[in-house]
């Protein structure tokens, strides 16, 4: 999840940030399991034109048409022979094109309208954890390598193996500066490259080491000049990568901000306000971040093992707080003891109080893996989780409209029996109890995976 740009390379405005006063309600939910086969929803992707793709733990990708009445099944994409690790609608001028990569060592391009595979890139004996395309190149992370293919010929182009010492977990081309690529690894290194010359040494621009495995990242800022990164131990790191690439600009070589104990800080922020009570007793994991272009605000999304999700604003520390040095530390030491409010702010760290919470009876009952932010799908939200559900959320007025539309659709379809378990309309709250239990097709995983997640990334 990261900042979106339009075809001209300009930031695509999001809707306004979530509203506490209005609040979100669960409009409907769709189950993706079949005949009680426990199936996790790993990731959701949206093409900006009403199509949603869901990567499932059973190697399938499900497609849904999205409207005010909820989600409507549009087809399956089958072909991967291992778990799907990542989904991306990467090219605004080709909204029907979806790329996916997986444990079978392939990157596949799909025509989502026709439901057919149109591209295939493969590497033997390597699991691919991340993929990205800039229209000309396809990049993927496999083992300690960054792999490239020429999209025009679908043939291998290069393999970079000098930068990272462990598995490459993330690769992403910048959405506007198409030659810029970011990679990240279990070794804790986040690296920026210029791929114009396709030379690993000559193309290397800057790096940041967060000293722990990188599990997710995204560009943000008015021009995508910054990066957020989520680690495997649920810490959050912010980096001005563009400043780090500019030799004449100071302050970009280190982290812009970080929250090593992000779960504790988020829990403190939630406990400080009424809306955060739905997140008690505390936050268990980070889902990712989203950037609101209009408000120039970065948001972190975090969840509980019970399926609730909170939206928290991120407050970047001023540059002076990072570069102030010993003099600032001496001034702080000589200052008066902190007030109760200052102590609360210190406990919250980078995070403000939650501005919205997704939690409702009949919605998620287990870990939420993916959230589609308001603006990507109108001003509604979509969530997918380990309880085999994709849920649709709307503001109160929108939820009422959507519920009415859903009731009309259900009434029109009343003479036709629906398959059991295909959709619960947001009213079924008793999903199978399988917290931290893996489906049979998830039993073969990396030994280093986090205990709460079925897959490491």
Exposed / middle / buried, residue 326 (Cβ in 10 Å: 0-12, 13-18, 19+): exposed
Q: What is the DSSP secondary structure assignment for residue 68, as one 8-state letter?
A: T
Domain ranges of the chain: 1-65+261-457, 123-260
- Please identify which residue in the block is written with the tokens 């991340």: 130
CA trace torsion 294, 298, 304, 305 (10° rounding): 100
Architecture of domain 123-260: 7 Propeller (2.130)
pLDDT digits (tens, 9 = 90+) for 367-393: 999 999 877 666 789 999 999 999 999
Q: Is the pLDDT of residue 303 over 60?
A: yes
Range of lowest pLDDT (315-324, 364-373, 402-411): 402-411
Pick from 44-53, 120-129, 252-261, 292-301: least confident = 252-261
Rounded CA separation 57/21 (Å): 36
User: Which pLDDT score is estimated for 90?
Assistant: 87
Instruction: Give me the percent of the chain exceeding a pLDDT of 90.
Output: 63
| Average pLDDT value for the chain | 82
The pLDDT confidence band at residue 37, using thresholds 50, 70 and 90, is confident
Query: Distance between CA 118 and CA 138 in Å, rounded?
Result: 14
Over residues 167-179, the mean pLDDT reads 97
pLDDT(422) > 50: no
- Mean pLDDT value across residues 128-154: 98
- Predicted pLDDT of residue 432: 31
Query: According to the model, what pLDDT value does residue 398 have?
Result: 53
Q: Is the pLDDT of residue 455 over 80?
A: no
Residue with tokens 């939630």: 270
Range in 105-114, 185-194, 374-383 with the lowest mean pLDDT: 374-383
Residue 407 pLDDT level (bands cut at 50, 70, 90) = low
pLDDT grade, residue 429 (50/70/90)?
A: very low
Mean pLDDT of 413-441: 39
Residue 92 structure tokens: 């605004």
Summarised one tens digit per residue, pLDDT across range 217-262 is 999 999 999 999 999 999 999 999 999 998 766 555 778 999 999 9
The confidence score (pLDDT) of residue 176 equals 94
pLDDT of residue 277: 93
Across the beta sheet with 128-133, what order do the strands follow?
A: 128-133, 137-142, 145-150, 155-160
Distance CA 225, CA 235 (A): 21
* Per-residue pLDDT at 441: 45
Q: What is the pLDDT, as a whole number, of residue 250? A: 59
Q: For residues 56 and 362, which has the higher predicted lDDT (pLDDT)? A: 56
The whole-number pLDDT of residue 11 equals 45
For the range 136-141, what are the long-range contacts, defined as Cβ-Cβ under 8 Å and sequence gap of 24 or more?
A: 136/178, 137/173, 137/195, 138/99, 138/107, 139/171, 139/173, 139/181, 139/195, 140/101, 140/107, 140/171, 141/167, 141/168, 141/169, 141/170, 141/171, 141/183, 141/185
Predicted pLDDT at 48:
87
What's the confidence (pLDDT) of residue 68? Answer: 74
Higher-confidence position of 95 and 324: 95
């Amino acid at each position: 999840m990261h900042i979106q740009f339009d075809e001209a390379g300009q930031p695509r405005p999001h809707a306004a940030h979530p509203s506490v006063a209005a609040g979100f309600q669960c409009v409907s939910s769709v189950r993706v399991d079949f005949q009680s086969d426990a199936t996790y929803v790993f990731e959701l992707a949206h093409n900006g034109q009403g199509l949603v793709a869901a990567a499932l733990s059973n190697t399938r990708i499900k497609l849904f048409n999205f409207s005010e009445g909820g989600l409507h099944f549009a087809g399956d994409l089958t072909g991967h022979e291992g778990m799907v690790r990542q989904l991306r609608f990467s090219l605004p001028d080709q909204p029907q094109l979806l790329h996916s990569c997986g444990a079978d060592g392939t990157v596949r391009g799909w025509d989502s309208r026709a439901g057919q595979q149109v591209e295939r890139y493969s590497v033997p004996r390597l699991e691919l954890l991340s993929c990205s395309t800039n229209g000309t190149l396809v990049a993927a992370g496999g083992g300690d390598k960054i792999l490239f293919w020429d999209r025009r010929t679908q043939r291998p182009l290069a393999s970079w193996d000098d930068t990272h010492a462990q598995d490459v977990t993330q690769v992403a081309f910048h959405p506007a500066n198409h030659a810029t690529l970011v990679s990240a690894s279990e070794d804790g290194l986040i690296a920026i490259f210029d791929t114009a010359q396709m030379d690993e040494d000559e193309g290397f621009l800057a790096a940041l080491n967060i000293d722990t495995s990188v599990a997710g990242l995204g560009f943000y800022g008015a021009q995508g000049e910054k990066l957020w990164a989520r680690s495997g131990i649920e810490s959050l790191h912010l980096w001005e990568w563009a400043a780090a690439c500019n030799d004449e600009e100071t302050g970009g070589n280190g982290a812009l901000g970080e929250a090593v104990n992000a779960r504790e800080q988020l829990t403190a922020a939630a406990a400080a306000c009424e809306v955060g009570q739905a997140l008690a007793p505390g936050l268990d994991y980070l889902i990712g971040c989203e950037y609101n272009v209009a408000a120039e605000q970065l948001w972190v999304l975090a969840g509980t093992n019970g399926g609730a999700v909170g939206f928290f604003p991120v407050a970047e520390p001023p540059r002076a707080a990072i570069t102030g040095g010993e003099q600032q530390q001496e001034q702080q030491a000589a200052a008066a003891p902190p007030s109760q409010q200052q102590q609360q702010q210190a406990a919250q760290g980078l995070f403000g109080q939650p501005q919205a919470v997704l939690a409702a009876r009949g919605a998620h009952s287990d870990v939420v893996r993916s959230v589609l932010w308001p603006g990507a799908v109108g001003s509604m939200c979509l969530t997918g989780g380990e309880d085999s559900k994709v849920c649709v959320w709307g503001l109160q007025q929108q939820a009422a409209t959507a519920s009415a539309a859903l009731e009309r659709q259900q009434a029109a379809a009343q003479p036709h029996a629906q398959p059991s378990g295909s959709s619960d309309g947001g009213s079924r709250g008793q999903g199978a109890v399988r917290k931290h239990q893996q489906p049979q097709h998830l039993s073969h995983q990396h030994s280093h995976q986090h205990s709460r997640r079925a897959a490491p990334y």
